[in-house]
Structure 1
Amino acid sequence: MNPKPLHYLLLFAGVTVLMFFTLSKPQASVPSAPGFQAHRVVAHAMGGIEGLTYTNSYEAFIANYEKGTRVFEADLLLSKDDRLIARHEWGEKFTEMLGQEAMVKPDERGTVWSYREFKEAKILGRYEPLGWEDILDLMERYPDIYVVTDTKQIKTEEFNRIYTKIVQSAKKRDAALLDRVVPQIYNREMWGDVERLHSFEQVIYTLYQSEDSDEQVIEFAKEKRLAAVTMSETRATEKLVTALNSIGVPSYVHTVNEPRSIAKFKRMGVYGFYTDFLSEQDAARAGWTAYLGF
């Protein structure tokens, strides 16, 4: 017998069995709720640009919007003069990574900057840093985008100041903008802090600073009807993801830049992904073929 037909037959049988088990695993269904959940991809820190991450820049937004991304996470901090800006941190090494060290005095590279200093220090000399008002401009100009907040100051007083600015500044323009702002909270107590300021349509519980057990996360998600739970690759387990899916709460995983990783987590039942470089189309294609390396 010619071994080639047998080889192909066995290969076909193996792939068929693998597909059966892959597709029989718990898959996250598309949530029925409107809003950002219509999308699988969240651009981390406004998305990457030219291999650079964490810029939170205008150019990064444009590059990723043009790829089809519609949900953008923004890192938010308060400047020295109490203005809300999009920046991940103030560390000196971070300033050097963004190529901004020449824009400020050496003794100020690791300190909190004023709003003017922040805006004048272009990233790598060419990318435009975004203040919160700039992000509101983008939301008005692009009515199909959603902004997920990642507040880097989470002490109660600072967190409340940040959200007070978010709510008040949006209401001055158009209160409907807040329908497309998606707060991330970092512990269960923050739910009340956010609700006192505004009843947002969708809230995400992100677990990277949480000490809650899986059982506490599930109960909280069910009680508050959370829009999603976001977790790191190491925190994501099939047990937790399946339990969240069973109560209709989708899971998102951060930060994923490899199609194979997306394929693995989709098999687990994860619904969406925070990413620097991947698009909605990349996430859609990352099925069992990507997992196998085809």
Structure 2
Amino acid sequence: MVLVLGLYDRVQMKSRLERDFYPLEAVFEKAGLEKQSDQDYTKAGLVPWSVHVDADKIRKNGYRFPYAQSEQDWLGRIYLPKESLEASLGQELGHQGTELVLTSKSQDLKQVLATTRLIAHAGGTMREAGFLSAYSNSLQALKQNYSLGHRIFEFDLNLTQDGRLAAVHDWEGEALTSQEWESAKTSDKANRQAQYTSLFWEDILKQMEVNPDMIVVTDTKVQSKSQAAIEEQYRILGQAVQKFDPALADRILVQLYKPEDYTLVEELSFFKHYILTLYASDLKEEAIAKALVDKPKIVGLTLPQKDERLTDSLIDQIHAQDRLVFVHTVDGFATLSKMLNRRIDGVYTNNLLAKDLELYQAVLDSQKLNFKLKLATTKKFLW
């Protein structure tokens, strides 16, 4: 009888797994989470996880992962959609028979950039009733946009008076001290009532620990700064990662502002991936591709979307070097479509979400299908 029940249980479980429903408790246990109650789980680490399972969503450290359906088996075990469980854990789920398999997502940063295509600019827009707040670089913006599907985040970073990197696009006047910034509330210039939690670079690293698939692009501002200040920013950036968790360097893309920065940052020996951004550079089109040749860790470059240097010829040259081309900042579907049709690999955006990419792909697939149907009709008519 026991053998029959065991076989029945495995058959039932395998059927659900094949429909992409996974047993919640078993998945969490495999991910290292400890059950505290029927709805609450925790995980120890550099940054502890606190997970709560509601009837329609999983909540983790302020992040939300909704699901539309759940199932319960004959033993009362809860099964949730694979997609929602993967999103909450930042890992990939699979199975071999009824054996669960949990693996890290791809650490090939260039491949992730090429397939994800969207970089949430300044942490992404904070969406509130009747108001969109961009450029906040805030904890709330990060949590909201990660919950909405973003996985790659750009943050603006500026030095405080006492040498810490604060997530702020620019100081309005004199730089604050770290103590002043810690107690400050970031706000939107167009709406002073919108106030959010300010971040330091170390706080962003903590959020990367909570989200194992989160990638960060740094924007340490260089305009109107001395070379010494620029070097200090890179040094502080790297030292914080080394102190907190060196493995995070695999998921950090450091923006360089001129080709010569490559040697400088390489000498610090902190980081593995760079992207050359040209908004502060007067480098001519014909010199851009040449400047990348002996710099293998630069995975790509980014330019303003209306930059006159962004020609088809330049895109061809960068792709010929097996590197990516990004543009900033794109917030409309029409512009997104235009850029992707030009073979741009991705965009920095305040407002766009993964669903916008899905819509673009659906339109593209529809156009391809219509073309095939017209071609087939034409051939039939000719015959």
Of 163, 171, 174, which residue of structure 2 is paired with 1:90?
Answer: 171
Q: Is the CA contact (8 Å cut-off) linking 2:121 and 2:349 kept in structure 1?
A: yes
Q: Is the CA contact (8 Å cut-off) linking 2:242 and 2:270 kept in structure 1?
A: no
Of 291, 294, 312, which residue of structure 2 is paired with 1:223?
Answer: 294
Of 279, 283, 306, which residue of structure 2 is paired with 1:234?
Answer: 306
Cα deviations across residues 90-115 of structure 1 (Å, max 9, x unaligned)?
A: 12xxxxxxxxxxxxxxxxxx221111
1:163 offset after TM fit, Å? 1.5
Of 179, 184, 209, which residue of structure 2 is paired with 1:140?
Answer: 209
Structure whose alpha-carbon radius of gyration is higher: 2
Size of the aligned set, in residue pairs, is 242
Task: Call closer, same or farther: CA 1:261–1:112 in 2, change over 3 Å.
Answer: same
1:242 offset after TM fit, Å? 2.2
Output the amino acid matched with 1:63.
Q
User: Aligned equivalents of 2:362 and 2:290: distance in 1?
Assistant: 32
1:264-275 superposed matches below 5 A: 264-275=338-349
Q: Is the CA contact (8 Å cut-off) linking 1:252 and 1:271 kept in structure 2?
A: yes
1:34 offset after TM fit, Å? 4.2
Task: Call closer, same or farther: CA 1:156–1:53 in 2, change over 3 Å.
Answer: same
Q: Is the CA contact (8 Å cut-off) linking 2:327 and 2:344 kept in structure 1?
A: yes
Output the amino acid matched with 1:184.
Q
Segment of structure 1 superposing worse, 31-40 or 159-168: 31-40
Task: Call closer, same or farther: CA 1:76–1:32 in 2, change over 3 Å.
Answer: closer
1:246 offset after TM fit, Å? 2.2
User: Aligned equivalents of 2:141 and 2:120: distance in 1?
Assistant: 9
Residue 124 (structure 2) pairs with residue 47 (structure 1): yes
1:125 offset after TM fit, Å? 5.7
Task: Call closer, same or farther: CA 1:282–1:199 in 2, change over 3 Å.
Answer: same
1:237 offset after TM fit, Å? 2.3
What is the DSSP-based 3-state SS (H/G/I as helix, E as strand, rest coil) of the residue aligned with 1:224?
coil
1:281 offset after TM fit, Å? 2.7
How high is the TM-score relative to the length of structure 2?
0.60
Q: Is the CA contact (8 Å cut-off) linking 1:233 and 1:254 kept in structure 2?
A: yes
Aligned equivalent of 1:277: 351
User: Aligned equivalents of 1:157 and 1:145: distance in 2?
Assistant: 30
Output the amino acid matched with 1:251.
V
User: Aligned equivalents of 1:155 and 1:125: distance in 2?
Assistant: 33
Residue 150 (structure 2) pairs with residue 69 (structure 1): yes
User: Aligned equivalents of 1:147 and 1:118: distance in 2?
Assistant: 21
User: Aligned equivalents of 1:288 and 1:281: distance in 2?
Assistant: 10
Cα deviations across residues 137-168 of structure 1 (Å, max 9, x unaligned)?
A: 11111111111010113532112111211211
How high is the TM-score relative to the length of structure 1?
0.77
What is the DSSP-based 3-state SS (H/G/I as helix, E as strand, rest coil) of the residue aligned with 2:347?
strand
Q: Is the CA contact (8 Å cut-off) linking 1:56 and 1:74 kept in structure 2?
A: yes
Q: Is the CA contact (8 Å cut-off) linking 1:260 and 1:286 kept in structure 2?
A: no
Output the amino acid matched with 2:182.
K
Segment of structure 1 superposing worse, 163-172 or 60-69: 163-172
Q: Unaligned regions of 5+ residues in structure 2, if any? A: 1-107, 187-192, 365-383
Query: What CA RMSD, in Å, does the superposition of the two structures yield over aligned residues?
Result: 2.0
1:160-179 superposed matches below 5 A: 160-179=231-250
Aligned equivalent of 2:261: 190
What is the DSSP-based 3-state SS (H/G/I as helix, E as strand, rest coil) of the residue aligned with 1:150?
strand
Q: Is the CA contact (8 Å cut-off) linking 1:35 and 1:180 kept in structure 2?
A: no
Aligned equivalent of 2:63: none
Q: Is the CA contact (8 Å cut-off) linking 2:239 and 2:270 kept in structure 1?
A: no
Output the amino acid matched with 2:205.
L
1:196 offset after TM fit, Å? 0.7
Aligned equivalent of 2:140: 59
Residue 321 (structure 2) pairs with residue 247 (structure 1): yes
- % identical aligned pairs: 33
Q: Is the CA contact (8 Å cut-off) linking 1:251 and 1:272 kept in structure 2?
A: yes
What is the DSSP-based 3-state SS (H/G/I as helix, E as strand, rest coil) of the residue aligned with 2:209?
helix
Output the amino acid matched with 2:299.
A
User: Aligned equivalents of 1:241 and 1:136: distance in 2?
Assistant: 33
Output the amino acid matched with 2:329.
T
Q: Is the CA contact (8 Å cut-off) linking 1:266 and 1:287 kept in structure 2?
A: no
Q: Is the CA contact (8 Å cut-off) linking 2:259 and 2:292 kept in structure 1?
A: no
1:169 offset after TM fit, Å? 1.4
What is the DSSP-based 3-state SS (H/G/I as helix, E as strand, rest coil) of the residue aligned with 2:133?
coil
Residue 196 (structure 2) pairs with residue 152 (structure 1): no
Cα deviations across residues 112-137 of structure 1 (Å, max 9, x unaligned)?
A: 11112112221346410111111111
1:221 offset after TM fit, Å? 2.4
User: Aligned equivalents of 2:194 and 2:354: distance in 1?
Assistant: 29
Segment of structure 1 superposing worse, 64-73 or 123-132: 123-132
Aligned equivalent of 2:160: 79
Indicate the structure whose relative CO is greater, using CA pairs within 8 Å and at least 6 residues apart: 1
Output the amino acid matched with 1:158.
A
